[in-house]
Structure 1
Amino acid sequence: MDHATHEIVTFYEDRYEEATRLQRRPQSRLERIRTLELLRELLPPAPATVLDVGGGPGAYARELLADGYRVRLVDLVPGHVDQARAGTPPIDAVVGDARDLPEPDASQDATLLLGPLYHLHEPADRVRALREAIRVTRPGGRILAAAISRFAGPIDMLATARFGDHVLSDAERLLTNGVNDASIGFTHAYFHRVAELTAECEAAGLTDVVIHGVEGPGWPAAEAALPGPHADATFDGALRLARLLSTEPEVVPASAHLLVAATAPPR
């Protein structure tokens, strides 16, 4: 395990509670609702087999199991795998790296990468993870992969009243290299531009690539509306706007998260 990977595992094991993340904030609740809607829209019908790579404690895997899918989860963090196995219903889960999946060729009807891409700094590693997803997915199967928008961090800081000169300075740096500063909160991460994400998917060999904006452009308003009297109405409006503008190219990068929907090519 290299140094960055070790630090990512330590972050999630010792410093960050991933299991409750999708319920804590308007942005994360929008992420959960829209991701589930997109999974149900884009995945093949149940009982298809789905490999959930980087699936964490199993928030999406459990929903898919309830929908009738056959799901196997792979995650880099042993504590996440333990949580996935121990939950209700228990998930078939193993420790593994997205760049070297412990799965046979063409064994899945669909593969999810809802975390690994934004924890890999190097383009070659991200393309390798996408190629691994292709390898384990049957030709013509679906591959869905998440990324974090290049602009998510400073927008989040502004929406939650944490903006300042230091944030602006870091935003300027991010524009040039996309690499998160792991010393100021989040762990090692890479933030994508849409064109760059599309190019990496195409370099890996994916076809029919479409990029969705998950939370839509209204998520900062939903954050800023707390704890005021219009919080619920603003959240509802942000969700409706996210659905309407999911693939509108000009506003996709305003989402905190991007979701690739693509097809595994023929062998």
Structure 2
Amino acid sequence: MNVDDNRDDLRQILDYYNAGSEINRLQSGIGVIEWERSKQIISRYLFDRPMVIYDIGGGAGAYSRWLAELGHEVHLFDLSPAAVEYAIALQSPGDIPPIHRIETADGRRIARSGGSADLILLMGPLYHLTERDERLDALEEAFRLLKPGGTLLAAAISRFGSTLWGLSVYGQKNDILEEQPFMSMIERELADGQHIRPEEYPNFIARAFFHLPNELKEEIEESGFNHLSTAAVEGPVWIVPALAEKWRNPESRAALLRISSIVEEQESLLGMSPHLLAAAKKRS
């Protein structure tokens, strides 16, 4: 990939997030499962005492606000100036503890000293750094920032996400599998993980890389971490046709979350989950 390609990719990514595409994503559609399940998984690695947490690529700050409300010292970093401005605007001057710091930053270069964080969230950078050496740079920066024994939680998008979504809506909401631009897009994703958004679908996620589960583990381990687990965030339950209706029913919602939790580390099902969340430790 040449320099111009990198600039074009960065421009598309910034345009996508600066337009506010992610601001309400976790409040509708399958985003509601991602939000609840991600919190479940993250909670397993929180201490009872206040922690220093770096939310790198944290967007408008949904996870940062939640963690700050729990009493942790949260530093939010994102590449999108608009997302950072929105996160700042959402800060509450009232009784809810605010996010400690909110800054515009590249996830590969964070202005903090080494060994200064107890926990790092990488909930976006790994799927928008499309070259392997770039992703390793971000992981190695997280390694530098963490205290010995600190925890990394790194998110990835499944290699099969677009394909499974296309199948889930085919013949119901549209006939997208019969559209050549979509078919060409998913063929490329399945071949090498590179997501290149066709002009015909301006609302699709910007330029990205979609992982296989074993690729995510390998990149984390190559960066010096001890890989603990890779969990399917949504798991297979997002395919439920009446998801919106069932989610509104507390008993149905609990059942869906329970199934996601039961199968979260079942290797044969990991690829069915739109998002993966890997946990790793910095060796002491």
* Matching residue of 1:196: 215
Partner of 2:56: 53
Contact kept in structure 2, 1:142 and 1:261, CA below 8 Å: yes
Deviation at 1:107, TM superposition (A): 0.7
Aligned-pair distance for 1:124?
A: 0.5
**How far apart are residue 254 of structure 1 and its match?**
1.0
* Equivalent residue number for residue 22 of structure 1: 26
Q: Which runs of 5 or more structure 2 residues have no equivalent in the other structure?
A: 1-5, 93-97
TM-superposed CA distance for 1:80, in Å, is: 1.0
Question: Which of 174, 190, 210 is equivalent to 1:175?
Answer: 190
Amino acid in the other structure paired with 1:225: A
After superposition, the Cα gap between the structure-2 partners of 1:33 and 1:211, relative to the gap in structure 1 and judged at 3 Å, is: same
Q: Distance in 2 between matches of 1:159 and 1:18?
A: 22
Aligned ranges 1:120-199 → 2 under 5 Å = 120-160=129-169, 161-162=173-174, 163-166=176-179, 167-183=182-198, 184=201, 185-199=204-218
Partner residue of 2:238 out of 203, 209, 219:
219
After superposition, the Cα gap between the structure-2 partners of 1:228 and 1:43, relative to the gap in structure 1 and judged at 3 Å, is closer
Corresponding position: 1:12 with 2:17:
yes
> How far is the alpha carbon of 1:235 from its aligned partner?
4.6
* SS in structure 1 at match of 2:194: coil
Supply the distance in 1 between the matched residues of 2:116 and 2:243 (Cα, whole angstroms): 45
TM-score by length of 2: 0.86
State the alpha-carbon separation in 2 of the partners of residues 87 and 231 from structure 1: 26
Q: Does 1:240 align with 2:258?
A: yes
Seen in structure 2, the aligned counterparts of structure 1 residues 150 and 105 have a Cα distance that, compared at 3 Å, is: same
Return the alpha-carbon distance in structure 2 between the equivalents of residues 215 and 116 of structure 1. 19
1:117 and 2:119 correspond = no
Q: Structure 1 226/249 Cα, relative in aligned 2: closer, same or farther at 3 Å?
A: closer
Aligned counterparts of 1:228 and 1:53: Cα–Cα separation in 2: 33
The verdict on how the C-alpha distance between 1:57 and 1:172 changes in structure 2, with shifts beyond 3 A counting, is same
- Equivalent pairs: percent with the same residue? 34
Aligned residues: 262
Kindly report the root-mean-square deviation, in angstroms, between the aligned alpha carbons of the 2 structures: 2.0
CA deviation digits over 1:236-257, x for unaligned, max 9? 4332111111112111221110
